Amino acid sequence: MEEEEFEENAGNNDDFTEDVVASTGLGLSFEKRLERLSQSDRIDQLYGCLRYSAFEERIGWLYNLQPCELFDEDRRRFVSALDLYFIGEIGDRFKISIVYPPYFYVGAKLGRENDVYAYLSKRYHNRCLSCDLLAKEDLDLPNHLAGIQRTFIRLRFHDIDDLMKARKELQPIVKRNTEREKEQESRPELAVLKRAASSNSRGSDLVVDGLSNANVAEKQIDGIIELREFDVPYHIRVCIDLKINVGLWYGIRGQSSSGPQNQLVLKPELIEQPEPIIFAFDIECTKMPLKFPTAVSDQIMMISYMVDTQGYLIINREIISQDIDDFEYTPKKEYPGQFHVFNETNELELLKRFFNHIVDVKPHILVTYNGDSFDMPFVEQRAQFYGLNMFNEIGFRKDSQDCYLCRPCIHMDCIKWVKRDSYLPVGSHGLKAVTKAKLRYNPIEIDPEDMCRLAVEQPQTLSNYSVSDAVATYYLYMKYVHTFIFALGTIIPMRPDEVLRK
């Protein structure tokens, strides 16, 4: 038996299930899972992330990671894997896929470990990659500091789908056995009656070593009393076991004959970070008087964004009364903003220009301010109005937590940092207030009720207001959020967008 330190459960049941459904083919047919795999590869290629599969070592800075499935041609089945996204030494990008079997632990009654091991080995021999007895330090034991270890059964699976099915089958057994154990503790006479009944059954039905097949199976099942680490999200599990963290340099091999742990070699001597492409945007919309903008009836009239200090503004000329020329908006010397303007004929052309520019730029990080709640869903719904699918165009869609995420591109919503880490009071979480407090300048402010009027009467004033939000969002992220999140990522085994939002 191996001797390892036992890790406590991480995360919770609901988060794990949602993570699995979002990132794998849980419950999907074989054809749907193949389609999902092809779709993921297409989005990765859209952002220039091709899978590196050679044996030669390549140096890269890990900026993102995503759980995925791969189809194993040899075994003719799907296997769980982790996609790792890198920026190379010369600014190129690539990914590798590390195949790593998911697993959880089954706890047995003291002295019944071998019975449970025999039962699980037989029951899951077709679905289970391996079944092992491992000695672990159980922190639930009152004397765990003495180094006393407890034996657990580890079930390793080919993919998350098999793990979830096994977990679903075993949880009712655990619940039944724990409830029965509690009842026996509260009523000791039940334990005496059970032992007497067991003795009578052994005397009347002897088949194998004094026990019938039914009684052997029942005895083995009764020994299962808990599941451990079944709710650790797969990508966190792999990062913990293989010591993988974003924000660090690695020597990477696309393949390794000695296992996944040798596909990555940490390069601690490399300290300086590369410069990822950062794309920060903000939208301005029409609205009815005294109402909040709604994507059902209102339109996007401007999209302003900055890509590595270069600014862009897309104008919807159906709403804006005249063409806008290129201009500069530099609120402070350290926050330059030269803006190139695209005057588009209507909202559809505006959206196409926006999506195409994202694909051309291929950002590593997309930055918004309250984008999860407003900008991203508004853009998505307006695109749907014209028959465009935002996920097919740029790879972003809403997950189970109402966050807009993409596999190869990180979405950083700066309002999450403001609410959790900025130490600003609750009433000062708007972008204008945060700009004053953190960037130390007074941004342009316009009454929302005047915006539609200014689009006709003073379009240049409205343009200045629009780009001011993009400038504030970009420099707020660069000054406070970027370094902070990736520094945390070097010690927290999560994706950067999770480090920001958790």
Q: 23-32, 300-309, 314-323: lowest mean pLDDT where?
A: 23-32
Mean pLDDT of the chain: 89
Helix axes of 347-361 and 376-385: crossing angle, nearest 10 degrees: 120
Question: Is residue 369 over pLDDT 80?
Answer: yes
Quote the pLDDT of residue 55.
85
Establish if 483 belongs to a structural domain: yes
Decide: 85 and 95 in contact? Cβ < 8 Å: yes
Establish if 463 belongs to a structural domain: yes
Same domain as 213, residue 307: no
Question: Is residue 159 over pLDDT 90?
Answer: yes
Same domain as 210, residue 170: yes
Quote the pLDDT of residue 203.
43
Quote the pLDDT of residue 76.
85
Same domain as 337, residue 207: no
- Rounded mean pLDDT of 341-360? 98
Same domain as 187, residue 70: no
Quote the pLDDT of residue 35.
92
Question: Is residue 215 over pLDDT 90?
Answer: no
Establish if 459 belongs to a structural domain: yes
What's the CA gap between 73 and 92, in Å, rounded? 29
Question: Is residue 21 over pLDDT 60?
Answer: no
Same domain as 213, residue 246: no
Decide: 409 and 364 in contact? Cβ < 8 Å: yes
Quote the pLDDT of residue 205.
42
Question: Is residue 197 over pLDDT 80?
Answer: no
Number of Cβ within 10 Å of residue 321's Cβ equals 12
Establish if 283 belongs to a structural domain: yes
Enter the tokens of residue 403. Answer: 């966050």
Same domain as 406, residue 302: yes
Q: Is 212 exposed, middle or buried (0-12, 13-18, 19+ CB in 10 A)?
A: middle
Q: Is 111 exposed, middle or buried (0-12, 13-18, 19+ CB in 10 A)?
A: exposed
CATH number at residue 355: 3.30.420.10
Question: Is residue 68 over pLDDT 80?
Answer: yes
Question: Is residue 32 over pLDDT 80?
Answer: yes
Establish if 273 belongs to a structural domain: no
Task: Identify the domain boundary among 243, 266, 289.
Answer: 266
Quote the pLDDT of residue 483.
97
What's the CA gap between 233 and 502, in Å, rounded? 14
Closest CA to 363 of 279, 476, 483: 279
pLDDT tens, residue by residue, 272-299: 999 999 999 999 999 999 999 999 999 9
pLDDT tier at 146, thresholds 50, 70, 90: confident
Question: Is residue 201 over pLDDT 50?
Answer: no
Establish if 327 belongs to a structural domain: yes
Quote the pLDDT of residue 59.
96
Establish if 271 belongs to a structural domain: no
Establish if 272 belongs to a structural domain: no
pLDDT tier at 213, thresholds 50, 70, 90: low
Share of the chain above pLDDT 90, in %: 76
Quote the pLDDT of residue 144.
78
What's the CA gap between 464 and 449, in Å, rounded? 17
Same domain as 457, residue 354: yes
Q: 246-255, 279-288, 338-347, 406-415: lowest mean pLDDT where?
A: 246-255
Same domain as 428, residue 348: yes
Contacts 24+ apart (CB under 8 A), 327-335: 327/460, 327/463, 327/464, 329/464, 329/467, 329/468, 329/471, 331/439, 331/441, 331/443, 331/468, 331/471, 332/439, 332/440, 332/441, 335/439, 335/441, 335/471, 335/475
Question: Is residue 12 over pLDDT 60?
Answer: no
Closest CA to 490 of 153, 247, 190: 247
- Rounded mean pLDDT of 6-11? 42
Closest CA to 252 of 262, 242, 240: 262
Same domain as 152, residue 7: no
Question: Is residue 210 over pLDDT 90?
Answer: no
pTM assigned to the model: 0.88
Same domain as 331, residue 476: yes
Total domains in the fold of the chain: 3
Residue ranges making up the domain that contains 246 = 2-101+233-266
Same domain as 409, residue 311: yes
pLDDT tier at 256, thresholds 50, 70, 90: low
Length of the chain counted residue by residue: 502
What's the CA gap between 89 and 273, in Å, rounded? 10
Quote the pLDDT of residue 194.
56
Same domain as 367, residue 254: no
pLDDT tens, residue by residue, 78-119: 999 999 999 999 999 999 999 999 999 999 999 999 999 999
Question: Is residue 412 over pLDDT 60?
Answer: yes
C-alpha pair distances (Å), 420 with each of 373, 425, 430, 496: 16, 11, 14, 15
pLDDT tier at 196, thresholds 50, 70, 90: low
